[in-house]
Amino acid sequence: MTNPSDGKDFSDIYTAFIHGLQELPGDSLVHRHVKELKSKRGLHIETLKDAGLVSGLKERVAVVVRDLLATFPERDLEDAGITYRGMPSLRWMEDESEPAGKIIIPYWNASKTKVLYIRAHKLGPKGVPLQVYGQHILGRESQTDQIVLTEGEYKALALIQSGIPALAVPGISSFAGKYLHRLKELLGQHRVREVVILFDNEVKNDPSLPSFKAD
């Protein structure tokens, strides 16, 4: 069995996982999360629906995982970070202080037919290679040869909501080097000629500040 770090394709599993949560009765993204994303990120409900964000409610995740175990090999589900020893792997999608769980972000492909990767904000399944977020906007007719690259999915969604094509990487330091080729290949494939890089507004070279990170 191929290790996740070897680049195994888990898109069928992630697509089934997201669709499963969306198809269950009730709101796939709970009101608390909708309200939070609107007040803190300025994201409208239409934007959230288009992006397919879902809440990692423990009970709903358990139902979907049960169905996935009947469809996919258990080892593949474990490698994808969905299960651990046959049980839902909630370590990266569960928030002990929040009954609704974390917000799970699907990384759609350009045609928006498959989910390439899933991630909670600032945390994803362990050992699974990172992806570029926002690829679903590259397949739209309005796509131009200019794009904004942000650090973090919510910033990209805010730009997309404003009519500005944007992609995001989970983090500059985590994406640089090992995964940079994915970004370069994606930009070349979709003939993006100009990239505007929008960094976080943080000072990380001052040890006296909480955002400090040693090199």
Structure tokens at 211: 């955002």
Return the pLDDT at 180: 86
Pair 140, 112 in one domain: no
Query: Which of these three, 129, 161, 187, is where a domain ends?
Result: 129
Gap between the Cα atoms of 162 and 46, Å rounded? 12
Which CATH number covers residue 39? 3.90.980
Pair 169, 152 in one domain: yes
Q: State the residue for tokens 């007719």.
A: 141
The pTM of the full predicted model, rounded to 2 decimals, is: 0.86
Pair 158, 125 in one domain: no
Q: State the residue for tokens 């792997």.
A: 89
Pair 120, 163 in one domain: no
| Helix extents (H) in 52-90 | 58-69, 74-79
Query: Which of these three, 75, 96, 129, is where a domain ends?
Result: 129
Q: Could you tell me if 7 and 129 are in contact, meaning their C-beta atoms sit under 8 angstroms apart?
A: yes
Return the pLDDT at 194: 92
Pair 72, 177 in one domain: no
Pair 205, 178 in one domain: yes
Domain with 147, as residue range(s), is: 130-215
The structural domain count of the chain equals 2
Return the pLDDT at 51: 96
Regions in the chain scoring below 50 on pLDDT: 1-6
Compute φ and ψ for 72, nearest 5 degrees. Answer: -115, 150
Structure tokens at 199: 């960094």
Pair 72, 143 in one domain: no
Pair 27, 116 in one domain: yes
Return the pLDDT at 164: 92
Query: Which of these three, 80, 100, 129, is where a domain ends?
Result: 129
Q: State the residue for tokens 């009101």.
A: 31
Rg (CA), the chain: 17
